[in-house]
């Protein structure tokens, strides 16, 4: 059974989103996603300062099995990426919610995200 | 799981071990039991095992068996003179394309065991029956779906398997490399698809689960098809349907060493096409120098023209991405090339295969 923390938001494309106190959003991939991908061996994350639209494929996660795109859940600007995850991609397998990938400063209202129950229904 | 999926006699064991199952050529098979990379390392460093019961064993017998196989296969079974000895060969169509690659074991001049790929098994049997009907006198072909197969591979594979199979400890128990022995109802071959020492154990289907349990108890780690793929890739071994197929000559897939042209009189199927075309492509290994992961069907740019990757993945032993590529003739090992990885040109270089053999890295 996948771990789906109640305090996070989610997308149908298996990203998790945490609202930070400074208004930015931290993005990662869900436990369900890491399990489906298998051993993760490579991450390509967006550079700071890049503008993204909601739904943009802005990062790549590669497992031994396959490559998958990671989508920006909202429009905004990339303000950080997690170099530690790039250096140790397997950390996404060990704890998908600790190994965050990038942070976005949203351009406007954040909407259209799933809550934990909504995501659980999505992957059921 | 698709309700029409085929199940091996070890299916329950895979589910009980919590394997992630995938469809492979219509079979519901384990891709991993947790971590594919750990399973890969288990085979390189200790002992792992694979359920390969989806592959099909075929018994070919009769006074006409040897001449039939000398016509059916691109490699020459006349090389096999000792009972149990194995030979790797392609089975070609008239155009010289690969219908399948297989292992043939010589029991006697009138008795052979063949093991063919799961995805091609029906096609192979149909092709063989057609060839038998067209002039394979005194040849009988029998499909052995009553058998299961377990590949135990790794530096400690034989020692661990010997604990589970006491017969292996007898004087003629352990077969020499690339040979097989019959031990009561077992057919045990010193062959594999990983580049490590090990055994491929053929066991009656009803005893397969007991054999699996005994091997687990002996410390052999269950491994899925995921690790099997990265192991064979490091070992420089082709995967049918990916590195070669019916449209590809074995000469263009790095398999010239399996095509035996020495006997001018031996008119094997596909021979005239191979001799007419010769080698049209170079087949080499690729090591990615930049960060990223090679996959099949990526464009490779060389000074001699463009080529294409046929396989690619992350190599757990080399801790970087490797692949195979079909490249313009004239391309040599050691050539700097560029591979288009997800729209970006990345630096790679060509290398001679294999990448890894018996736990040792063979490239710089």
pLDDT by residue (tens digit) across B193-234? 999 999 999 999 999 999 999 999 999 999 999 999 999 999
pTM: 0.94
Residue B227 and residue B339 share a domain: no
Residues in chain B: 364
Relative to beta strand B48-51, strand B221-222 is parallel
Tell me the β-bridge partners of B182: B187
Contact predicate B105/B86, CB 8 Å: yes
User: What distance in Å separates residue B286's CA from the closest CA in chain A?
Assistant: 16
Tokens read off for B211: 């054999």
User: Are B293 and A41 in contact (CB < 8 Å)?
Assistant: yes
Query: How many inter-chain contacts (A to B, CB under 8 Å) are there?
Result: 41
Q: At the topology level of CATH, where does A9-107+115-119 sit?
A: OB fold (Dihydrolipoamide Acetyltransferase, E2P) (2.40.50)
User: Are B291 and A42 in contact (CB < 8 Å)?
Assistant: yes
Question: Looking at residue B172, what is its pLDDT?
Answer: 87
**Residue B114 located in a structural domain:** no
Q: How many domains does chain B have?
A: 2
Cα–Cα distance, A105 to A74 (Å, whole number): 9
ipTM summary value: 0.85
Q: B19, B342, B343, B346: best mutation site toward chain A, by most A Cβ within 10 Å?
A: B342
Residues 6+ apart with CB under 8 A from B90: B73, B74, B75, B98, B99, B100, B101, B102, B244, B250, B255, B258, B259
Last residue of a domain, one of B234, B260, B290: B234
Question: Looking at residue A109, what is its pLDDT?
Answer: 87
Q: B292, B309, B312, B316: best mutation site toward chain A, by most A Cβ within 10 Å?
A: B292
Last residue of a domain, one of B205, B234, B263: B234
Tokens read off for B208: 């397969």
Contact predicate B148/B208, CB 8 Å: yes
Question: Looking at residue B1, what is its pLDDT?
Answer: 63
User: Are A67 and B36 in contact (CB < 8 Å)?
Assistant: no
Domain residues for the domain of B351 are 280-361
Lowest mean pLDDT of B44-53, B129-138, B289-298, name the range.
B129-138
User: Which residues in chain A are closer than 8 Å to B292, comparing Cβ atoms?
Assistant: 42, 44, 62
């Amino acid at each position: 059974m996948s771990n789906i923390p109640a305090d996070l938001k989610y997308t149908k494309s298996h990203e998790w989103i945490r609202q930070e106190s400074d208004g930015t959003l931290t993005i990662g991939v869900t436990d369900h996603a890491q399990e489906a991908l298998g051993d993760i061996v490579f991450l390509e994350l967006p550079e700071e300062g890049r503008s993204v639209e909601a739904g943009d494929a802005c990062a790549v996660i590669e497992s031994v099995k396959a490559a998958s795109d990671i989508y920006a859940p909202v429009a905004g600007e990339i303000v950080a990426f997690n170099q530690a995850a790039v250096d140790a991609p397997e950390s996404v397998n060990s704890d998908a919610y600790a190994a965050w990938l990038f942070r976005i400063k949203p351009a406007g209202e954040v909407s259209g995200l799933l809550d934990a129950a909504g995501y659980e229904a999505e992957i059921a | 799981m698709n309700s029409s999926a085929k199940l091996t006699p070890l299916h329950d064991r895979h589910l009980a071990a919590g394997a992630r199952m995938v469809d492979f050529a219509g079979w519901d098979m384990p891709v991993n039991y947790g971590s594919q990379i750990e399973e890969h390392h288990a085979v390189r460093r200790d002992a792992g095992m694979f359920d390969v019961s989806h592959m099909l064993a075929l018994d070919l017998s009769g006074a006409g068996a040897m001449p039939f196989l000398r016509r059916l296969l691109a490699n020459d079974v006349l090389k096999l003179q000792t009972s149990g000895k194995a030979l790797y060969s392609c089975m070609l169509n008239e155009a010289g394309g690969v219908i399948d690659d297989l292992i043939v074991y010589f029991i006697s001049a009138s008795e052979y065991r063949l093991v063919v790929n799961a995805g091609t098994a029906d096609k192979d049997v149909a092709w063989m029956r057609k060839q038998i009907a067209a002039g394979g006198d005194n040849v009988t072909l029998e499909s052995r779906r009553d058998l299961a197969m377990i590949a135990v591979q790794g530096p400690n594979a034989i020692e661990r398997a010997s604990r589970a199979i006491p017969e292996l400890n007898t004087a003629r128990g352990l077969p020499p490399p690339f040979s097989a022995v019959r031990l009561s109802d077992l057919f045990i071959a010193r062959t594999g698809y990983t580049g490590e020492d090990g055994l491929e154990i053929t066991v009656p289907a009803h005893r397969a689960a007991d054999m699996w349990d005994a091997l687990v108890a002996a410390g052999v780690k269950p491994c899925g098809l995921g690790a099997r793929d990265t192991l064979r890739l490091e070992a420089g071994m082709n995967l049918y349907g990916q590195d070669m197929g019916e449209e590809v000559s074995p000469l263009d897939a790095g398999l010239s060493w399996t095509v035996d042209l020495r006997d001018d009189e031996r008119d094997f199927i596909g021979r005239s096409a191979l001799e007419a075309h010769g080698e049209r492509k170079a087949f080499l290994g690729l090591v990615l120098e930049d960060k990223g992961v090679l996959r099949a069907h990526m464009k490779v740019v060389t000074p001699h023209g463009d080529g294409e990757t046929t396989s690619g993945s992350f190599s757990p032993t080399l801790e970087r991405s490797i692949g195979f590529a079909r490249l313009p003739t004239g391309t040599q090992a050691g050539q700097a090339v560029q591979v288009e990885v997800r729209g970006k040109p990345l630096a790679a270089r060509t290398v001679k295969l294999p990448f890894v053999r018996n736990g040792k890295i063979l490239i710089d």
